[in-house]
Amino acid sequence: MNYEESLKILDLIEGAGSKEDEDWQGLYNDLLKDAIDYSNIRAKWNFKTPGEKENAGKSRTNLHDVFISDIEIMARYAKSKGRDASFEEVLALDRKDVGDFACFVHAIIGIRCR
């Protein structure tokens, strides 16, 4: 997973929704929030002691699972509305790449907010 691939997938996600669809916007905001939550713990991982990593491992896995679930939910919702859900291709990647995608989402939205 790289920046360009992540940007393409995020564009597909954004294109599958509508600003007028409050449910979609809520799901989208959850995805962004959960990407930030996961990428924060992943970025701080390098600074944790082995004991801290052991204690935080379950939390990190849980945040990763929540982010994956966000993508699954958004894809189901998009399909239910007859929209393109091809962004769910990210779910076919291995967990590390899905985590990379969360980190890139965090970076992309941070850069867009400047």
User: Helices (DSSP H) in the chain: which residue ranges?
Assistant: 3-15, 22-44, 50-80, 95-112
For residue 103, the model assigns a pLDDT of 96
pTM comes to 0.91
Domain count, the chain: 1
- Rounded CA separation 32/5 (Å): 17
Range of the domain at 14: 3-112
Q: Would you give per-residue pLDDT tens digits along the chain (114 residues)?
A: 899 999 999 999 999 998 899 999 999 999 999 999 999 999 999 999 999 988 888 999 999 999 999 999 999 999 999 999 999 999 888 999 999 999 999 999 999 888
For residue 96, the model assigns a pLDDT of 93
For the chain, state the CA radius of gyration: 14
- Rounded CA separation 114/100 (Å): 22
Residue 13 CA neighbour count, 13 Å, CB half: 27
